[in-house]
Amino acid sequence: MIKMNFRKAATLGVLGIIFSIGCEAPQKEIAMPETDLSSENLIPMPSKIIATNSGFRLDQFTRIETSSDDESFQVVATYLTEKIAEKTGLRLETNAREVETTDPVIYLLQEENKQWLNEEAYILSIKKDSLILEVPTAKAAFRGIQTIRQLIPEISNDTLSEHSIWPISTGTIEDHPNFEYRGSMLDVARHFFSVEDVKKYIDLLAYYKINVLHLHLSDDQGWRIEIKSWPKLTEIGGSTEVGGEAGGFFTQEDYKEIVAYAKVRYMMIVPEIDMPGHTNAASVSYPFLDGTGKTPQLYQGTRVGFSTFNTRKDTVYSFIDDVVREISAISPGPYFHIGGDESHATSKADYLYFVNRVEKIVQKHGKQLIGWDEVAQADLDSSSIAQFWDSERNAKMAIQKGMKVILSPAKKTYLDMQYDTLSKHGLHWAAYIPVDTAYIWTPETYVEQIPKDMILGVEAPLWSETISNIEELEYLAFPRVIGYSELSWTLEENRDWENFRVRLANQTPFLDMMNVKYYPSPRIDWVKSNRAYKEILKD
Ligand code: TNX
């Protein structure tokens, strides 16, 4: 029996020798079934797949090793063991001190010196005895382990050996993202969602390599983030929501918990404070902010465009400075989203003056400004970013200013749009967006005159006027958000609706395991997962 310290051996560069010894060792040679890596149901589709039609043996003897002493690799490895345990019940050891070389190994290997296309690129080499994930960074390792999770079969094969085996198709996957910004937005202002709900959404998004969660933290109906220097924002402004229910807000500790949870999943939180419109809840809390001349009242309806800050008062900017400072201090990401949409109660001149002034505040606190596409009309710096939702004209103005653009066209990416006339939740002012419409468009060429290198990425916003709990959130977001993950990660030449449709139909084991109440669109031939069968049998 050959035993050795795996990490030491790896750093000595004898990895190949170990594996070949492992292959030759007769003790545990188990004949694996033929499989095809290129027909696995991976979403988003990787850049390149080469199948070698055998199986890696994932079983109770499999070990997970990391090459790097970097703590973050250990965290990624632990995350993978947890996810393998949830799916299979296997409790694998990571960085076990002594390893039998005949045991299958999942190896997270940091290769800083390779010519990587970007910091999230990875190469997965799957052989019979080893599954090696080569990466430049721990972030890339996190993306790569999502692919590994997706390759693990839902149920074990119990005919190959005396113990259960989850065969993983062999071959090579080379992968990297098409866009660096792959996001979804959640509106916690119209209806409030708890920390637990947000964490569940983060978990679901991370599985599909989405790396941004934009939180819409304030609107006319509610202010949802504690600001220590202005406590009435949440005491008063957070006290209600659409429909008159209780509202709620994140304390700064709650928000930090979300940020930390997202960080482990290599997801950035983009905080948004919407202004100068969409500010009724703030103005009810502190009436000096108001610029409408009316006395603001708590609002539980769904109209937009009736509120505005007073853009000509210095005290309003001192207030904004405090808000941006406090939120920026607990937001490690580079961005601060200032909203800026639908300011119909603000004059054009006031609006432009406001956006220019707020940009300086955002920059003073070390952040880059993001705003809905209207902000591009102001005199913004090229480091600021416009989020295109409605006006191509605004998006083009942004490009002329050298600003990058995030694509969130309402007609294609608004998760709050109904699937069709029968949808239980959602609106349809922009369009009905069935699952195929959501997927069949090309971000790279959607707006003429926006070259690909000026597109930061794609984001799917979920506005919450018509949804008030996690089941309703899931109904609107799933399955469409899975398609947006592919539109933002996968290269254009590898995207294909008919092919995606089949892979999407096979997401049911994951969605059922996660207890996601997705909308079972009749346009998809959903595969019944084992879990769903069990539940049907129980009924
Ligand atoms: C438009 S999109 C809005 C939101 C609404 C949404 C409803 C945008 C920047 N503003 O205030 O919630 O439509 O679909």
Is it the case that residue 128 has pLDDT exceeding 80? yes
Cβ–Cβ < 8 Å for 119, 140 = yes
Per the model's pLDDT, the better-predicted residue between 32 and 291 turns out to be: 291
Is it the case that residue 9 has pLDDT exceeding 70? no
CA dihedral 522, 523, 524, 525 (to 10 degrees): 70
As a whole number of angstroms, the distance between CA 339 and CA 258 comes to 21
As a whole number of angstroms, the distance between CA 77 and CA 59 comes to 16
Report the range of poorest mean pLDDT among 46-50, 296-300, 518-522, 527-531: 527-531
Instruction: Decide the pairing of beta strands 48-58 and 166-175.
Output: antiparallel
Buried b (16+ CB within 10 A) or exposed e, 214-253: bbbbbbbbbbbbbbeebeebbebbbbbbbeeeebbbbeee
Whether the bond between 296 and the residue before it is cis, its omega within 30 degrees of 0, is no
Residues in the chain, overall count? 539
Domain total in the chain: 2
* Ligand 1 geometric centre to CA of 390 (Å): 10
Ligand 1, closest atom to CA 278? 11
Do 89 and 139 reside in the same domain of the chain?
yes
* Ligand 1 geometric centre to CA of 463 (Å): 7
In DSSP terms, 172 is beta-bridged to: 50, 125
Do 302 and 324 reside in the same domain of the chain?
yes
538, part of any domain: no
520, part of any domain: no
As a whole number of angstroms, the distance between CA 327 and CA 20 comes to 53
Q: How confident is the model at residue 7 (pLDDT cuts 50, 70, 90)?
A: very low
What integer pLDDT is reported at residue 535 of this predicted model?
64
In DSSP terms, 122 is beta-bridged to: 175
Best of 191, 341, 464 for a ligand 1 pocket test (most atoms within 8 Å of beta carbon): 341
As a whole number of angstroms, the distance between CA 229 and CA 286 comes to 12
Report the range of poorest mean pLDDT among 2-6, 35-39, 56-60, 429-433: 2-6
For 81-125, write each residue's pLDDT tens digit.
999 999 999 999 998 877 677 889 999 999 998 999 999 999 999
What is the token pair recorded at 432?
């009905």
- Nearest CA owner, ligand 1 atom 6: 463
Range of the domain at 474: 181-513
- The total of other beta-carbon atoms located within 10 Å of residue 269's CB is 22
- Nearest CA owner, ligand 1 atom 5: 463
- Distance set, CA 338 to CA 23, 360, 489 (Å): 57, 12, 26
As a whole number of angstroms, the distance between CA 28 and CA 35 comes to 20
Instruction: Decide the pairing of beta strands 63-66 and 93-94.
Output: parallel
* Ligand 1 geometric centre to CA of 216 (Å): 11
Please name the amino acid found at residue 369: L
Q: What is the CATH number of the domain that holds 100?
A: 3.30.379.10
382, part of any domain: yes
Would you name the residues annotated as active-site residues? 342
* DSSP letter assigned to residue 30: -
Ligand 1, closest atom to CA 342? 10
* Ligand 1 geometric centre to CA of 156 (Å): 45
Ligand 1, closest atom to CA 219? 11
Close Cβ partners of 8 (under 8 Å, ≥ 6 residues apart)? none
Pocket of ligand 1 (CB under 6 A): 304, 341-342, 372, 389, 414, 416, 427, 463, 465
Do 243 and 109 reside in the same domain of the chain?
no
Nearest to 84 by CA among 94, 75, 92, 76: 92
Ligand 1, closest atom to CA 430? 14
Do 45 and 139 reside in the same domain of the chain?
yes
- Nearest CA owner, ligand 1 atom 13: 463
Please name the amino acid found at residue 423: S
- Look at residues 175, 194, 215 and tell me which one is the last residue of a structural domain: 175
- Nearest CA owner, ligand 1 atom 11: 304
What is the token pair recorded at 512?
């059922």
- Nearest CA owner, ligand 1 atom 2: 389
As a whole number of angstroms, the distance between CA 320 and CA 361 comes to 8
What integer pLDDT is reported at residue 332 of this predicted model?
98
Nearest to 110 by CA among 67, 147, 173: 67
Do 227 and 253 reside in the same domain of the chain?
yes
Nearest to 221 by CA among 241, 236, 203: 241
For 264-281, write each residue's pLDDT tens digit.
999 999 999 999 999 999
- Nearest CA owner, ligand 1 atom 9: 341
Cβ–Cβ < 8 Å for 162, 177 = no
Is it the case that residue 245 has pLDDT exceeding 50? yes
Do 134 and 240 reside in the same domain of the chain?
no
What integer pLDDT is reported at residue 392 of this predicted model?
97
Is it the case that residue 533 has pLDDT exceeding 70? no
Helices (H), 330-462: 348-364, 392-400, 410-413, 435-439
Do 155 and 298 reside in the same domain of the chain?
no
Query: Percent of the chain, pLDDT > 90?
Result: 88
Is it the case that residue 16 has pLDDT exceeding 50? no
Cβ–Cβ < 8 Å for 435, 479 = yes
209, part of any domain: yes
* Ligand 1 geometric centre to CA of 406 (Å): 16
Query: Cα 27–149–9 angle (5° rounding)?
Result: 45
Q: What is the CATH number of the domain that holds 343?
A: 3.20.20.80
Query: Cα 348–350–354 angle (5° rounding)?
Result: 115
Looking at residues 413-431, what average pLDDT do you find? 97
Cβ–Cβ < 8 Å for 490, 178 = yes
Residue entry with tokens 């972030």: 139
End-to-end CA distance of the chain: 50
224, part of any domain: yes
For 143-193, write each residue's pLDDT tens digit.
999 999 999 999 999 999 999 999 999 999 999 999 999 999 999 999 999
What integer pLDDT is reported at residue 8 of this predicted model?
41
539, part of any domain: no
- Distance set, CA 292 to CA 234, 285, 374, 378, 436 (Å): 21, 15, 20, 21, 43
Residue entry with tokens 């979920």: 462
Is it the case that residue 532 has pLDDT exceeding 90? no
Do 281 and 210 reside in the same domain of the chain?
yes
> What's the half-sphere exposure (Cβ side, CA atoms, 13 Å) at 307?
29
Ligand 1, closest atom to CA 461? 2
Average pLDDT, the chain: 93
Do 258 and 363 reside in the same domain of the chain?
yes
220, part of any domain: yes
Do 251 and 107 reside in the same domain of the chain?
no
As a whole number of angstroms, the distance between CA 44 and CA 514 comes to 18
What integer pLDDT is reported at residue 458 of this predicted model?
98
Do 189 and 279 reside in the same domain of the chain?
yes
Cβ–Cβ < 8 Å for 478, 202 = no
What integer pLDDT is reported at residue 3 of this predicted model?
41
Best of 214, 216, 342 for a ligand 1 pocket test (most atoms within 8 Å of beta carbon): 342
- Distance set, CA 491 to CA 339, 389, 420, 453, 459 (Å): 30, 22, 29, 14, 16
Do 259 and 232 reside in the same domain of the chain?
yes
